[in-house]
Structure 1
Amino acid sequence: MLAIEGLHAGYGETQVLRGVDLAVNDGEIVAVLGSNGVGKSTLNRTISGIVRARTGTIRFDGGRIERETPRSIVARGLIHVPEGRRIFPNLTVRENLDLGSYARAGRRRAQNRERVFAIFPRLRERHTQIAGTLSGGEQQMLAIGRGLMAEPRLIILDEPSLGLSPLLVEELFALIRRIHAEGVSIMLVEQNVMQSLEVANRAYILAEGQFVMSGAASDIASDPELKRAYLGL
């Protein structure tokens, strides 16, 4: 579904990604793991068209997208839920959700809203509430729900557990499993290593703009090199 080869990207004179190769197959959860500052968000932003690739190719569903606009990439069904939630705090929960279908799946807005409410019952309870007054966990549910409103074929979740309590992190990963069970392919970009490896089919470890490990999530979880590759020890 997603195939990246030889990807280089960065900002100004700064090179962040240094020849990245990555694949996400239809029906998979693929985890991209790494500590702060290694290039995870740059990877997400480049796939989404926000940052322009310098060299390399990005193919989604067989078509090259590295020169497409973010809007056209969304229209293909590749949806990015960014780090930090980025909800509209002065709009209601329902209004935030409806904006998720602005560029894609607008004709099925009501149907998709009900689907989101089935996955996140608390959003149904709070559908008229101003989004900025939600708890951190509820705002993360809203951000993911807004992404689901566009009927993603592949959804990129960028640091969804960031800032959540351990109890809410457990709930979040259970919800990720549920979304996947409904047929959505997921690229999970996280610092939370072990819980990400528990839900993922395959995983990549990113360090200094390059993947230093990749393979089946179960193999990486049991690999003694994981600590060195991830923590630099």
Structure 2
Amino acid sequence: MSALLEIRGLRGGYGQVEVLRGVDLTVQAGETVALLGSNGAGKSTLNNVVCGIYPAWAGTVHFDGKDLSRAHYREVVKAGLIQVPEGRKVFPNLTVLENLELGSFTRARERRAANLDKVFAIFPRLKERLAQLAGTMSGGEQQMLAIGRGLMAEPRLLILDEPSLGLSPLLVDEMFGLIRQLREGGLAVLLVEQNVGQSLEIADRAYVMENGAIRFSGTPDELLGSDELRRAYLGL
């Protein structure tokens, strides 16, 4: 069976600086895959190239059998490959409701009302703050809003880029509980994180990235079973 997301030999970067050096990665339908690595490993660059925000220099990206290697980011969104970016990137001067509605601008607009209800079922706090400006919300609330905005597009696969970054330990636990809930609902998730321990607790498989390349991949048990890998790459 072909993977929902299949990345082969992907290369890319900024200007003359190569960041991605032949990345291979797959995500199956309904699978949660963790992409681990330190700052500067190339994780966010990979996300942005896969999602069409930056061009691929070489290699291929296939999503649900469709070649998106050179696709415009709007085509990527239309296909159902949705990224919740690092740093949340909510629109601070727009309300919660306006931010959520923008999530369905390109995809699933005709089901906006039904999807709002689904988002509110997951994030009751957002429903309580519909008229609040996003820029006045706490970091945890903005992260909920960013994920809710992504869900408004009815993703086939949701890329979560550092969703726990900058959150308190209590909110980190809440965030990983939410990701577990999305997984149990059958949504495919590519979880890009530095929080190794909690990521491996919920992932079906994991990749470890270093200097723009995949160094290790396997199940959480396989990664945690290697003393060398745990010390050198996982910080455990």
The CA deviation at 1:223 is: 2.1
| 8 Å CA contact 1:212, 1:229 repeated in 2 | no
Aligned to 1:57: 60
The CA deviation at 1:125 is: 1.1
1:48-73 Cα offsets, whole Å, 9 max, x none, are 00111111111000011011000000
Aligned to 2:216: 213
Q: Which SS does the other structure have where 1:53 is aligned?
A: coil
The CA deviation at 1:221 is: 2.5
CA distance in 2, matches of 1:16, 1:221: 27
Aligned to 1:184: 187
Which amino acid is the alignment partner of residue 91 of structure 1? L
Provide the identity percentage: 63
Q: Which of 168, 171, 175 is matched with 1:168 structurally?
A: 171
TM-score after normalising by structure 1: 0.97
What value does the CA root-mean-square deviation take over the aligned residues? 1.3
TM-score after normalising by structure 2: 0.96
Runs of 4+ with >2 A deviation: 225-229
1:145 pairs with 2:148: yes
Aligned to 2:96: 93
CA distance in 1, matches of 2:213, 2:232: 11
Q: Which of 35, 40, 43 is matched with 1:40 structurally?
A: 43
Unmatched tracts of structure 1, length 5 or more: none
**What is the count of residue pairs matched by the alignment?**
233
CA distance in 2, matches of 1:221, 1:136: 31
Q: Which of 106, 119, 128 is matched with 1:125 structurally?
A: 128
The CA deviation at 1:13 is: 1.1
Q: Which of 102, 107, 131 is matched with 2:105 structurally?
A: 102
Aligned to 2:21: 18
| 8 Å CA contact 1:39, 1:206 repeated in 2 | yes
Unmatched tracts of structure 2, length 5 or more: none
Aligned to 2:158: 155
